[in-house]
Amino acid sequence: MVARSDKTTDPRLQEELLQARRGTAFFARKLNELSDAELDRASLLPGWTRRHVIAHIGYNARAISRLVKWAATGVENPMYTSKEIRDHEIDFGATLTPIALRNLFDHAAIHLNVEWRDLPSDAWHHKVKTIQGRLVPAEETIWMRTREVWVHAVDLDNGASFKDIPAPVLNRLLQDITGAWASRGTDKDLIGRVNDYPELSFGDKEARTPVQISGSLADLACWATGRGTAGVTASQSGKIFAVTPVAPTWI
């Protein structure tokens, strides 16, 4: 039997799908390295165990699948009916037995992959609505999933780090976050320099004496998502800070 392939032939979408699938495989590997007992331990996210992270990733795949189905059929199918329902779903998922929790992740990821695979080329441009109420083309669902699986694989606190995330994903993630800061004005008097990618920078370009944040792409992405300051330095007018300030709120 010949394996079925994606209906889209757009090279850009195919590359983005590849990054999402690789991120899913990476999350699966870090999850499968954990014993059932280890699922009860804390994640890197305050108030969440590893169970909460796994449940979130599983239900997130289901939610994004609903958006892809919306794009395919034209019938509105929201991610969640409310944020409260989403939060309740995650809390409930965290109580599942280990095998049920693992199956949730596996089956939801497979379902989403099938929905992407079977989405006709023209439907990738159909508009759907995120939980924040933004109308976006269905192709945006790929990135929505990509950042979830890669970042939350780190949150499992099982040896993964931002250095494991591909540079194109880190680049887009950092642009997303710093773009949100710029739109809110929360990057005032802040300038960021990416040491290993000198062409990349962000922040308040009009500041006279900005706080300059510098580090590798991986370390700056980690810092920008609020997951630590290791490898990141801060200075102002040539004076290096003893403690790197935390990043502005992302979400």
Domain CATH number, residue 119 = 1.20.120.450
Same domain, 90 and 112: yes
Domain identity same for 131 and 171: no
Q: What's the first-to-final CA gap in the chain, in angstroms?
A: 45
Q: What is the CA radius of gyration of the chain?
A: 19
CA 35, CA 31: separation in Å to the nearest integer?
9
Total tally of structural domains belonging to the chain:
2
Task: Specify the pTM.
Answer: 0.94
Residue 250: per-residue pLDDT? 84
Report the alpha-carbon distance of residue 182 to residue 204 in Å, rounded.
8
Per-residue pLDDT tens for 136-192? Answer: 999 999 999 999 999 999 999 999 999 999 999 999 999 999 999 999 999 999 999
Of 28-32, 50-54, 208-212, which gets the smallest average pLDDT?
208-212
Mean pLDDT of the chain: 94
Strands 233-236 and 211-215 come out as: antiparallel
Residue 30 and residue 86 in one domain: yes
Q: Annotate 46-69 with DSSP letters as a single string.
A: TT-BHHHHHHHHHHHHHHHHHHHH
Question: What is the per-residue pLDDT for 145?
Answer: 98
Beta strand segments in the chain, E = 127-129, 135-137, 190-194, 201-203, 211-215, 233-236, 239-240
Of 137, 160, 183, which marks where a domain is finished? 160
245 domain-assigned: no
Q: Are 102 and 24 members of one domain? A: yes
Alpha-carbon span 199 to 13, nearest angstrom? 25
